[in-house]
Amino acid sequence: MTLEWEQVIVDCHDPVALGRWWADALGWAVVHNAPDEYEIRPAPDRLPGLLFVPVPEDKQVKNRLHLDFRPVDQRAEVSRLLSLGARHADVGQGEQSWVTLTDPEGNEFCVLAARRSP
C-alpha cells in the first residue's frame, strides 16, 4: 500500500482569514479559495497542504496535533510572525529551545531553533 500525505485539516471559525494568514506566514500558494474550504500549499503542485474548514465551536484546549517550523534565524522569524498577528503561548513546556506561538485563532505551533551543522 502506498499513501501520499495530501494535507492537514485545520478547523476554524473563518477559513478564508486564517488561510490567508497562514499563506502569508509561510509564503505558500493558495490553491482553493472558497468560504467553506481554503487550501494552501508550498507550491500549487507540491504537497502536503493545509486545508482550512469552518466549525462552529471554539477551540477549548491545547492542540492534539501542531506544526513545528525550523527557520534559519529563530529570533527573526518569531519577530516576523508576531508582527503578522501570532501570539506567544504557554502550554506548560517550560524553558525550551523552541518558541511556542499561536495563530490568530489560537492554534499552537512551534518555531524551533536553527539546525546545528553536522
Domain CATH code at residue 34: 3.30.720.120
pLDDT on residue 43:
98
- pLDDT score of 90: 80
Number of domains forming the structure of the chain: 2
Domain containing 77 — which CATH number? 3.10.180.10
Per-residue pLDDT, 26: 97
Residue 13: give the domain boundaries: 1-56
Question: What is the pLDDT confidence band of residue 117, given thresholds at 50, 70 and 90?
Answer: low
Instruction: Kindly indicate the confidence band of residue 10, based on its pLDDT and cuts at 50, 70 and 90.
Output: very high
**pLDDT tens-digit readout, 50-109:** 999 999 988 888 778 899 999 999 999 999 999 999 999 987 776 788 999 999 999 999
Q: 112 and 79, same structural domain?
A: yes
The pLDDT of residue 116 is 75
The pTM of this model reads 0.89
The CB-based long-range contact list for 77-85 (8 Å cut-off, 24+ gap) reads: 77/111, 78/111, 81/25, 81/111, 84/21, 84/24, 84/25, 85/21
pLDDT in tens, 36-50: 999 999 999 999 999
* Distance from C-alpha of 1 to C-alpha of 15, rounded to nearest angstrom: 32
- The radius of gyration computed from the CA coordinates of the chain, to the nearest angstrom, equals 15
Residues 52 and 7 in one domain: yes
Nearest 5°: CA angle at 9, between 8 and 10? Answer: 115
| Higher pLDDT, residue 115 or 6 | 6
